[in-house]
A and B are shown apart, each in its own frame.
Chain A
Amino acid sequence: MAGEEKKLTDREKELAASFQAAKDNLRKCEKQVGMVMDLNKCIGCQLCSMACKTLWTNVEGREYMWWNKVNTMPGKGSPKDWEKMGGGYKVKFGGKVMEPILGKHPTRKEFGDMWKYNWNEVISNKAGEVHLQAKNPDGSNPDWAMNWDEDQGAGKYPNAFYFYLPRICNHCAYPACLDACPRNAIYKRENDGAVLIDQDRCKGYRFCLEACPYKVIYFNFVTDKSNKCIFCYPRLEQKVPNACARQCTARVRWVGYVEDPKSIIYKLVKVWKVALPLHAEYGTNPNVFYIPPLAPPRLDAEGKLDTTKPRIPREYLRFLFGPEVDAALGVMNTELEKVKSGGKSELMDILIARQWTHMFGPFDKDPATLERKPAQPGSFSRNDLTALNNEKNR
């Protein structure tokens, strides 16, 4: 256990080195795709969730999964109270030491179970006799789901507030799930850094669900394997943007390579520094970033604008996005003021997103223009890993 020093044998040292090499190999990627979501624009319509559901999770075993979901904040999210479930890393010594933190498994009811509705009963009875009702598979009444605390928010009228937080897998640079998997089934795709679970290697042990601090991995009870957001890699291979991003009616999401200075992701994250990872303190280096919400100003007792403090308590935004949120909101306010006073702002031009084709870097093809054909398998070679694993085996 962590902290306990035990003298390792030479063989155990050899094994430790080969395990580390295997994980380094699985984490390796030449380029990294990322996504930015502007929380000022999200209207909580769940079109992103439905696009993802239609494309990836409307098959047996995945019904209860929402690889993309929109939660209302402040709220308990999904799975319920996921921020209290642990996982991720304690990062020490300037990022040199990543000490894993014990995580908890969410339950299927905390995600929101696979409800069934009594459609037949309603249809076969007189109007008003039977009400439409949802039931969990065990017969209980559902008491949580993907956006159960919709629009609940916090604060008091007239200064109540809420905002939406769309969530997908963060396709982290240092994925806790990848480190957790004893099967070496989880890897980053070499050409875009998407984190995937090799379904041939996964045996459903669920250490990944324990270790992921964002709780965005699901367990498939039909296949006995773990499933998660795949960053729509088969679409990216066709230069088509992710379904959640392309379907977003509010043009909330941008996609591109994180390290490419020409990409909008790079500009928003590295140049303007207005896009921040969610809970960076979890130590996994997410590649999904959020532009924090400014929210309308407060009203005072007389109903006049009160600009002395923000409507959304800054402390709450710092909890979600770290201390950098102050500077990010400062930049947003400055650039907004520029435009309000008749000036120009490159940042605001980006965020307005007049043309969808400018939002996704190289992934700007309209799927309607593609010849329909099945996606090609990924380029990752299992032989490389097997060779590494066995390199030092006697």
Chain B
Amino acid sequence: MEQIVCKRVSKSKSELLDSTAAFWKSGAKLKVETAATPLANQPSPYIKGVYDESKIGAVKELKLATVHNNENIFFYFEWASPKPSRAIGDINVFPDGLGLLFPMGDIEKTQIKEMGSKEYPTNAWYWRPDFKEMPKNQISHGLSTSLYTEKTSVQSHSSWDNKTWCVVITRPLKISGQGEQAVELKAGGSIGIGFAVWEGSNGERGGIKAFSKEWRELVVEA
């Protein structure tokens, strides 16, 4: 399983929660290939019947970097977006989006393609440009079951420049005791991670998206 190493840095949250910061722009980034979600996994007979899998997943690649400061974890993403879609302006307009997915239990038994199952749920952090830098936290027990949680500690900072989205997503490593349903992260630990990206101008929303087909291992350095 490919590893993504999250190094520890001595920087403040305000320095890191900045998608335009030189720290992110100049630092090394990992490339993650993304591909169309399979139509066979669509719970909607309509989508299965009329959508064309070859046209799903307009974004083919994400670039990412991740660090933590022992309190918060930060993920920085970049991806090409020639036609950014920032908000639901009309009924036929869909905003862009980005998602991080974590298995909440045994990674071997958690299907990334199905966003988990009843026994092995997943936790997603879902960013959209119209969420006012407050990404949603959601729990999924399999396809078509994801629900936003009331409480979320996920925050973001995003910018679009040079036909590219740059997004930083952050959350405290520890959330225990706060009544939030989400994965716990810790320095010195590791967890599975996956990614999804929606190109609004291609009509992508819900299960119509590009995603990383396999789990990767996020190693959070001590």
Q: Which of B43, B50, B92, B142 contacts A101 (CB 8 A)?
A: B50
Residues of B within 8 A of A (CB): 38-47, 49-53, 88, 90-92, 94, 109, 111, 114, 117-119, 141-145, 147, 205-207
Q: Which of A152-185 contact B (CB under 8 A)?
A: 176, 179-184
Contact (Cβ within 8 A) A389 B207: no
Chain A residue at minimal CB-CB distance from B138: A203
Q: Which of A185-233 contact B (CB under 8 A)?
A: 200-201, 203-207, 209-211, 219, 221, 224
Chain B residue at minimal CB-CB distance from A185: B144
Contact (Cβ within 8 A) A183 B144: yes
List 29 contacting pairs A-B, 8 Å CB cutoff, sorted by A: A1-B39, A1-B49, A1-B52, A2-B50, A15-B40, A15-B143, A23-B45, A99-B49, A100-B45, A106-B91, A107-B90, A108-B91, A180-B46, A182-B144, A182-B206, A183-B206, A200-B147, A206-B91, A206-B205, A207-B206, A210-B46, A211-B46, A219-B88, A224-B88, A389-B43, A390-B145, A393-B119, A393-B142, A394-B117
Contact (Cβ within 8 A) A105 B45: no
Contact (Cβ within 8 A) A182 B145: no
- In the complex, A104 Cα to B203 Cα: how many Å? 11
- In the complex, A394 Cα to B117 Cα: how many Å? 7
Contact (Cβ within 8 A) B49 A100: yes
Chain A residue at minimal CB-CB distance from B128: A224
Determine the chain B residues whose CB is within 8 A of the CB of A107 once the complex forms: 90-92
Contact (Cβ within 8 A) A179 B50: no
Q: Which of A104, A200, A207, A389 contacts B46 (CB 8 A)?
A: A207
Determine the chain A residues whose CB is within 8 A of the CB of B205 once the complex forms: 205-206
| Given contact pairs A19-B45, A386-B141, A393-B119, a sample of 19 additional A-B residue pairs in the complex whose CB atoms are under 8 Å apart | A15-B114, A99-B49, A100-B49, A108-B90, A108-B91, A179-B45, A180-B46, A182-B47, A182-B143, A182-B207, A210-B46, A224-B88, A389-B142, A389-B144, A389-B145, A390-B145, A393-B118, A393-B141, A394-B111
What distance in Å separates the Cβ of A143 from its nearest Cβ neighbour in chain B? 15
Determine the chain B residues whose CB is within 8 A of the CB of A278 once the complex forms: none
Contact (Cβ within 8 A) A390 B91: no
Query: Interface digits, A255-274 against B, CB 8 Å rule (1 contact, 0 not)?
Result: 00000000000000000000
Judge if A8 is at the interface, Cβ distance under 8 Å: yes
- In the complex, A99 Cα to B49 Cα: how many Å? 7
Contact (Cβ within 8 A) B91 A209: yes
Contact (Cβ within 8 A) A386 B92: no
What distance in Å separates the Cβ of B40 from its nearest Cβ neighbour in chain A? 4
- In the complex, A390 Cα to B145 Cα: how many Å? 9
Determine the chain B residues whose CB is within 8 A of the CB of A386 once the complex forms: 118, 141, 145
Residues of A within 8 A of B (CB): 1-2, 6, 8-9, 12, 15-16, 19-20, 22-23, 99-102, 104-108, 176, 179-184, 200-201, 203-207, 209-211, 219, 221, 224, 386, 389-390, 393-394
What distance in Å separates the Cβ of A34 from its nearest Cβ neighbour in chain B? 24
- In the complex, A161 Cα to B90 Cα: how many Å? 35
Determine the chain B residues whose CB is within 8 A of the CB of A206 once the complex forms: 91-92, 94, 205
What distance in Å separates the Cβ of A361 from its nearest Cβ neighbour in chain B? 33
What distance in Å separates the Cβ of B122 from its nearest Cβ neighbour in chain A? 12
Determine the chain A residues whose CB is within 8 A of the CB of B38 once the complex forms: 12
Contact (Cβ within 8 A) A390 B117: yes
Q: Which of B42, B47, B91, B114 contacts A393 (CB 8 A)?
A: B114
Contact (Cβ within 8 A) B40 A394: no
Determine the chain A residues whose CB is within 8 A of the CB of B91 once the complex forms: 105-108, 206, 209, 219
- The 7 closest A-B CB pairs, nearest first, are A180-B46, A393-B117, A105-B92, A390-B118, A100-B49, A102-B50, A12-B40
What distance in Å separates the Cβ of B215 from its nearest Cβ neighbour in chain A? 15
Contact (Cβ within 8 A) B44 A207: yes
Known contacts A107-B92, A180-B47, A207-B46, A394 near B109 by CB under 8 Å: yes
Q: Which of B53, B92, B143, B144 contacts A1 (CB 8 A)?
A: B53
Contact (Cβ within 8 A) B206 A205: yes
What distance in Å separates the Cβ of A251 from its nearest Cβ neighbour in chain B? 35
- In the complex, A146 Cα to B105 Cα: how many Å? 52
Q: Which of B43, B46, B53, B119 contacts A100 (CB 8 A)?
A: B46
Contact (Cβ within 8 A) A179 B44: yes
Contact (Cβ within 8 A) B144 A184: yes
Determine the chain A residues whose CB is within 8 A of the CB of B45 once the complex forms: 19-20, 23, 100, 179-180
Determine the chain B residues whose CB is within 8 A of the CB of A181 once the complex forms: 44
What distance in Å separates the Cβ of A87 from its nearest Cβ neighbour in chain B? 9
Determine the chain A residues whose CB is within 8 A of the CB of B117 once the complex forms: 390, 393-394
What distance in Å separates the Cβ of A82 from its nearest Cβ neighbour in chain B? 13
Chain B residue at minimal CB-CB distance from A9: B40
Contact (Cβ within 8 A) B142 A182: no
- In the complex, A101 Cα to B49 Cα: how many Å? 8
- In the complex, A261 Cα to B176 Cα: how many Å? 60
Determine the chain B residues whose CB is within 8 A of the CB of A22 once the complex forms: 43, 144
